[in-house]
Structure 1
Amino acid sequence: MKHAAAEYEIVVCGGGLAGFAAAVSAARMGRTVCLVQDRPVLGGNSSSEIRVSPRGASTYHAYAREGGVLAELMAGERLRNHEPIFENGWTNSIWDLSLYDIAQRTENLDLLLNTAVTAVSVEDGRLTAVECWTATAETVTEVTGTIFLDCTGDGVVAALAGCEYRYGEEARSEFGEPHAPRAASKDTMGNSLHFKTKDVGRPTEFQLPEWAVEYDDPDFFYQQGRFPQGVRGGYWWIELGKPWDTIDDAETIRHELTRRTLGVWDWIKNKDPRTREQTENLALDWLGQVPGKRESRRIVGLHLLTEHDLLREDAFEDEVAYGGWNIDLHTPGGLLAETSEPTAAAGYDLRSEASVTAYVGPFGIPLRSLIAKDVTNLLMAGRNVSATHVGLGSVRVQATTAIMGQAAGTAAAVALTRDLPVHDLPTRAAGAVQQQLLKDGCFLPHAVNADPADHARRARVSASSQALYLGASPGDRWVDGGLREGGRRVGDQLTALRGQWIPLETGPEAPGLRSVSVLLQNDGNSAVKIPARLQQVDHIWDYRVDTGPVLAETELTVESGEHWIDWTVDVGPQTLRREEAGGQYVRIDLGASPEVQWLRAGRILPGAVSAFEMATGRMRRFGAGVTMSHRVEPAQHAYPPRSVVSGAARPHEATNLWRSDPGHPFEQWIQLDWDEAQEIRVLQIAFAGHLLREFDQTPELWADPQTVRDYTIRAKTDGGWVDVLTVQGNGLPRRVHELPEAVRTASLRVVVHATHGDPSAAVYEIRCYSSEG
């Protein structure tokens, strides 16, 4: 047995997506970082060992996909991976290598793989070292550090250090959480195993081993929320916890899950009349042996996140991340319970009580929930953060844990840079952490770019052209919004009130909105009257049915058949909530009328999504993020050049996007001008794409059609325009360029030569800095 020692500024324990994002972000800020991971691969539950696709807020909210390190990872993996994504079981080693590649290209970051934390050293309330065991090398390593991050999932470091932690369910009376049980318990959500099948092109047989569990009751699957939707891969509901402990009995659970996973496949392939024909040529290709874990220890921090925080509308002053997954509390016991998770047991009915009460977000997450209260230099990220059982039900999903990880890693680096105690960060440096996160491509619902070092904020902005917002129709076949929508004529019955967001131009030159038209189809034989209302909304996730003063209201008469219905609204710019230039949203709401269909547009206009009333007074996203057919008059300059310095890099309170006129050929350009020459060394660009929908809805070897593929950075000097840098074949939504040498210029252009399919060049944000730091 060997002994070794190593010293770093930041030690991150746990290499899942939370720990990975924490380590990479801290190292990129110039701190020395060690990432300790007890498995041979990075990614935790998302890795090829477990194969849970990272999901988060964009499963429920349009344009809510998580940014930062995770966005870079997901976009890069799709560019190079030949394998399609299926919700569970289809992750391959290309995903593992994508994480490993980023880690290897990150300066200041060292990996200790196949290495488990076995002991810690604490002096005067501070962690000083972790003792690690690398089984493959038979080596004990003492890793000392200044700040530690526990991203182990089970909270191993914090538990060894003596931190208070919670385990199981809190009683409803403790915090008044509606989703909490009446009595506290030690029950947790369970662990799951996934499997993958392969089409071998001919009939195959499967024989259930005698030691496996046999299932033969259809009600167990179809009446208790265990639907075998799709037969290609495993299911989240193959889950076990209670009566076993997810830590102490982990190996027992693994074996029991293996027995039951084989039994589920036997049912699907050999017995279920709904799936036997589909699985005739399918063979079992892979069965996991590392269970994915949902819940165990939750470390008590400076703030305990509760269900009330998931419904909070005002901002935490120390907001450093956000969530948007539903309150996803799996039934204790999993396969041994009477039913599976409540929304599944309700048949995924979006208007069921289970679905309505579970729908939350997007909501902010405070830095205090990532700081352990009992050790002064310990942060945590992942499913071990400071939250109640109910609070964890939303923030435990991997995309959310990844951005919490980036927040924790960034906070640790800021603490070192400013020589601040970790416990002082929320009150003394929350703004600095927020600005660094925004600079590094993260999104925060209640913060915008206020970086004084960013020269772009002081620039005048112009462009070669800008797209007009006219609305969209079923026949539109442009490729935008992230996915190709054209080719099918789809109508949706107005079974509930339906809303359509419309971006409007604001400012002294804004034309106002004279009329709105909608394309409706009346399937009946007589005319139908539908109530219609136009009102302002605060942002793209403003799901209130009644948002405040109504701008216009009427009844639309829809004759039998398909018709464009025109409505004169005469909304002047002076009546809008915002007076400054930049834009805002209004929403047209049509009342329920089941005999009438509202036809979908053939494209998705950036920012123009729709929602439906799921319960009295509350809406939720309609479909996967679609644009309903509508027209506006006059045309709106809803994608102005100034958007690239608005401070926001996604369509939140406005579109915050510059789009070139799709009728103009490339090259299209966006230009920054200053009164005095600026020294520019680093340029950051956030292109459109990769925000609208979830990662697992994108195909293999894919680049978002909106994302700019080929572009050149040009600077104006005494000799005229000079090409500073040219990029070809880009597929990432965010690029950071350190120029070969600093350029002194009063005019800078980003010239777009091609996208991946969209006829418009589109940019959310440009930042300019004098130095890399």
Structure 2
Amino acid sequence: MIKEEFSKGARSLKTDFLNTDLVIAGGGLSGTCCAITAARQGLKVVLIQDRPVLGGNASSEVRLWILGATSHMGNNNRWAREGGVIDEILVENLYRNPEGNPIILDTILLEKVTLEPNVKLLLNTAVHDLSKKNDDSIEYLRAFCSQNSTEYQVKGKFFMDATGDGILGFLAGAAFRMGAETKEEFDEAFAPDQSYGELLGHSMYFYSKDTGKPVRFVPPAFADIDITKLPRFKTFNLKEFGCRLWWVEYGGRRDTIHETEEIKWELWKVIYGIWNHIKNSGQYADSENLTLEWVGTIPGKRESRRFEGDYMLTQKDVVEQRPHFDAVSFGGWALDLHPADGVLGDKPGCTQWHSKGVYQIPYRTMYSKNIKNLFLGGRLISATHVAFGSSRVMATCGHNGQAVAMAAALCLKQNVLPADLLEKSRMSELQKRLIQSGQYIPKVNLEDELDLVQNAAVSSSTELELKGLPFDGPWHTLDFSMAQMIPVSSRVVPGMKIQVKSEVKTRLQVELRLSEKPENYTPEVMLERLRLDIEPGGNFYSFSFQQEIPEAQYVFVTFVANPDLMLKCSNTRVTGLLTVFNKFNKSVATSSRQEPPSGIGIDAFEFWVPERRPLGHNLAFVLDQSLHPFSRENVKNGIFRPTTQPNAWVASLEDPRPSLTLDWSQQQDISTVQLYFDTDFDHPMESTLMGHPEFEIPFCAKSFQIKDDSGKVIFHQKENHQTIQEVKFQAPVRTQKLTFEFEKRVESVPLSVFGIVCYS
């Protein structure tokens, strides 16, 4: 029994005092990925989240899918899924949860964090105060947990604000912005005017469920009963539930921080009004058995404060893909701005303009220029309103969070402040550590003098020679123009033989295209055009090009739309080989060609997008000269995804037990081995709602084992579905040779490996 007498003075809360290396405020994707990465680097981390689950807008509380540079496979950013921990989360979610259940995603995020002994997780805990050491650094913060009535005073060497609204940076006095810059300040022609508005609003989602029996709905008194009076009213597709109604948005003309509760009520009015219309208007016969299963209780926020770092990301960084010496991450979502009036206005729900490829994000955007020990994460990094339209999405935020974690680890090790990492050797070390952990930085390769593989001779059981792909797949009608992407490293493009079927005499136009920038996949440069006379029936046709390509890159052998024709495809899928189509994904585009208004600083170009499995077969073809893009030496090149070439060792399709061997001239003491597999970086792996027809990626090794120079098995991974597998031996293995034996997953897909690194 507890009995306490009357106290004349106010009682104090129970207070826990914590001292740690890195304090992270905010448990969305950015804070979560940062915490996991930092903990794995040996830092002690306190992760403070004001909600009962992790994930922010990706969690079961909001239920928006995680997405980033892949943009639903609707842009020209091939193999652009983010790497590292955010990739690990998405791959694991696909494996456990292909249906896209947000509750399961909650458990995965919680599991990933709680498995790290270096992370102390404080859920339902809100930061409300802090103390500063001096004008430009934080000493500790205060946070309150309503569930255990406890206040936490958390002292740290470094702090990261990933709260979205930037409560930590705000309390610390860091410089921030809220709203849109003028066109003139950063020479951003896409900057909106007042009629469009300066802020993106909040959204709320709902789920419906078929109960198998009639269900009535009596709307609450606060519902907007006549939803048809909204300026943007349109008929509702009953299948468009959850995040597909992202455009039910409001709040861009209000204070998106301090008026969030009022914004929430307005969104509830609209949501329940929509459901009343569906159930009671008489226009939806199929709605009789539907019930409203779930409605969000907190809105998904898009925009509020953005804090100033030593650099501000701008529209031109995105569109022009400007290089940065301190690149530590990348983006690729469209410049995606929403009208401030949202669902209450008459403008389209968003204005999206894509760049021709991914862009680098500099480290200078990820720390405060005023508060010396404060890192910036999530949507509040240092970016203009226009650039924020791209950098704000969750997978990009998660990728940035990993960069912050690695920077904090390096700062702690070298006893320096975040801005000190701009020194050349420190930045090189940061980039190296990031890439080694799976982070992708465009145009930056892993160069690690400690990697023992660099001094090893590499041999393999087989090596795929690209002579063509078998004619064993479906016929594909040329309703849309189609292009087979071929990695060419010499100046000469091999001739090709294909099979064409037609019921009439007609012509097939074939074009050789490539991207202006070799690292992009926008086939904007026309090198040559051929026309083949096609006879009725299914016949083989050969052609060759006279043009040479200037440097190693993917060429697009393009077949112009002709609905009278069908091309024979292949059932064989290979790492780094894709077919793309000149059409569009309505989730991110309105036509197969981006045609922006003149004068807004955006490029016009065609979209060439792949189809998702089980569709998206490669073209069947035979080359008159073999290509060799799948060399065993690729495992040493420090690039762990396709770029201008596949960058993978690929075994022969017929190889029953593919193997790689590393051979040194003398004995090595090996403590750690890391393998990089192909989990199809072109796959967006949207985390919730959409669902996916597969739970494992066909290119990824199903299992593998490692043998030493005596043939002894020193490690055996019996089940694998992840991109990266790290093997740490209890004691260093002394050997002159390592042999890796792999089991492929799908008969029609050859085994591939992007890279192997070994450390003593």
Q: Normalised by the size of structure 2, how large is the TM-score? A: 0.88
Q: Deviation digits for residues 409-451 of structure 1, max 9, x if unmatched?
A: 1111111112222112123422111111111111111110101
Q: 1:269 to 1:177 in 2, by over 3 A?
A: farther
The separation in 2 between residues aligned to 1:691 and 1:390, in whole angstroms, is: 27
8 Å contact from structure 1 (residues 173, 182) kept in 2: no
Whether 1:24 and 2:75 are equivalent positions in the alignment is no
Superposed, which structure 2 residues align to 1:471-620 within 5 Å? Answer: 471-472=468-469, 475-476=472-473, 489-494=475-480, 499-504=483-488, 513-520=493-500, 525-528=504-507, 530=509, 532-533=511-512, 535=514, 539=518, 541-546=520-525, 550=527, 553-559=529-535, 563-569=539-545, 577=550, 584-591=553-560, 601-602=570-571, 604-609=573-578, 610=580, 612=582, 614=593, 618-620=605-607
Equivalent residue in structure 1 for 2:338, among 327, 330, 336: 330
The separation in 2 between residues aligned to 1:658 and 1:233, in whole angstroms, is: 39
| Unaligned residue ranges in structure 1 (runs of 5+) | 344-354, 477-487
Equivalent residue in structure 2 for 1:147, among 131, 152, 158: 158
Per-residue deviation, 1:490: 3.5
Instruction: Give 1:456's aligned residue.
Output: 453
Instruction: Give 2:631's aligned residue.
Output: 640
8 Å contact from structure 2 (residues 230, 344) kept in 1: no
2:264 is matched by which residue type in structure 1? R
Per-residue deviation, 1:534: 5.2
Equivalent residue in structure 2 for 1:313, among 321, 341, 345: 321
8 Å contact from structure 2 (residues 232, 344) kept in 1: no
Whether 1:267 and 2:277 are equivalent positions in the alignment is yes
The separation in 2 between residues aligned to 1:689 and 1:396, in whole angstroms, is: 25
Instruction: Give 1:242's aligned residue.
Output: 252
8 Å contact from structure 1 (residues 494, 595) kept in 2: no
SS in 1 for 2:440: coil
Q: 1:204 to 1:662 in 2, by over 3 A?
A: farther
Q: 1:457 to 1:619 in 2, by over 3 A?
A: farther
Per-residue deviation, 1:322: 0.6
2:476 is matched by which residue type in structure 1? V
8 Å contact from structure 1 (residues 493, 598) kept in 2: no
SS in 2 for 1:248: coil
Instruction: Give 2:5's aligned residue.
Output: none
Q: 1:17 to 1:474 in 2, by over 3 A?
A: farther
Equivalent residue in structure 1 for 2:640, among 640, 644, 649: 649
The separation in 1 between residues aligned to 2:320 and 2:146, in whole angstroms, is: 46
Per-residue deviation, 1:758: 5.5
The separation in 2 between residues aligned to 1:536 and 1:185, in whole angstroms, is: 34
The separation in 2 between residues aligned to 1:331 and 1:619, in whole angstroms, is: 25
Q: 1:181 to 1:534 in 2, by over 3 A?
A: closer
Instruction: Give 2:91's aligned residue.
Output: 75
Superposed, which structure 2 residues align to 1:365-444 within 5 Å? Answer: 365-428=361-424, 429-444=426-441
The separation in 1 between residues aligned to 2:560 and 2:18, in whole angstroms, is: 65
Q: Deviation digits for residues 339-393 of structure 1, max 9, x if unmatched?
A: 33245xxxxxxxxxxx5x4445311100011111111111111111111111111
Superposed, which structure 2 residues align to 1:91-102 within 5 Å? Answer: 91-92=102-103, 94-102=104-112
Instruction: Give 1:295's aligned residue.
Output: 303
Instruction: Give 2:189's aligned residue.
Output: 178
Equivalent residue in structure 2 for 1:63, among 79, 82, 92: 79
Instruction: Give 1:15's aligned residue.
Output: 27
SS in 2 for 1:621: coil
Equivalent residue in structure 2 for 1:207, among 218, 232, 244: 218
2:36 is matched by which residue type in structure 1? V
Instruction: Give 1:731's aligned residue.
Output: 721
Q: 1:530 to 1:234 in 2, by over 3 A?
A: closer
Q: 1:277 to 1:223 in 2, by over 3 A?
A: closer
1:706 is matched by which residue type in structure 2? F
8 Å contact from structure 2 (residues 700, 744) kept in 1: no
SS in 2 for 1:328: strand
Q: CA RMSD in A?
A: 2.8
Per-residue deviation, 1:302: 0.8
Q: Deviation digits for residues 207-263 of structure 1, max 9, x if unmatched?
A: 333321134539966769x86653476521121113332111111111221121122
Q: 1:731 to 1:168 in 2, by over 3 A?
A: same
The separation in 2 between residues aligned to 1:682 and 1:621, in whole angstroms, is: 41
Equivalent residue in structure 1 for 2:126, among 116, 120, 126: 116
Q: Deviation digits for residues 184-205 of structure 1, max 9, x if unmatched?
A: 9973111111111223233433
When structure 1 is superposed on structure 2, of 584-593 and 450-459 the one drifting more is 584-593
1:621 is matched by which residue type in structure 2? W
Per-residue deviation, 1:651: 0.7
Whether 1:84 and 2:99 are equivalent positions in the alignment is yes
Q: Normalised by the size of structure 1, how large is the TM-score? A: 0.86
Q: 1:315 to 1:197 in 2, by over 3 A?
A: same
SS in 2 for 1:293: coil
Q: 1:259 to 1:601 in 2, by over 3 A?
A: farther
Q: Deviation digits for residues 60-113 of structure 1, max 9, x if unmatched?
A: 3331111111111122223233x612xxxx411x21121111112213221121
Per-residue deviation, 1:268: 3.5
8 Å contact from structure 2 (residues 231, 344) kept in 1: no
8 Å contact from structure 2 (residues 452, 759) kept in 1: yes
Count of matched residue pairs? 717
Instruction: Give 1:699's aligned residue.
Output: 692
8 Å contact from structure 1 (residues 608, 627) kept in 2: no
The separation in 1 between residues aligned to 2:458 and 2:478, in whole angstroms, is: 40
8 Å contact from structure 1 (residues 75, 690) kept in 2: no
The separation in 2 between residues aligned to 1:231 and 1:588, in whole angstroms, is: 39
Equivalent residue in structure 2 for 1:687, among 657, 672, 677: 677
| Unaligned residue ranges in structure 2 (runs of 5+) | 1-12, 583-591, 596-603
The separation in 2 between residues aligned to 1:593 and 1:619, in whole angstroms, is: 18
8 Å contact from structure 2 (residues 252, 339) kept in 1: no
Per-residue deviation, 1:505: 5.6
8 Å contact from structure 2 (residues 487, 644) kept in 1: no
Instruction: Give 1:483's aligned residue.
Output: none
Whether 1:672 and 2:662 are equivalent positions in the alignment is yes
Instruction: Give 1:482's aligned residue.
Output: none
2:545 is matched by which residue type in structure 1? V
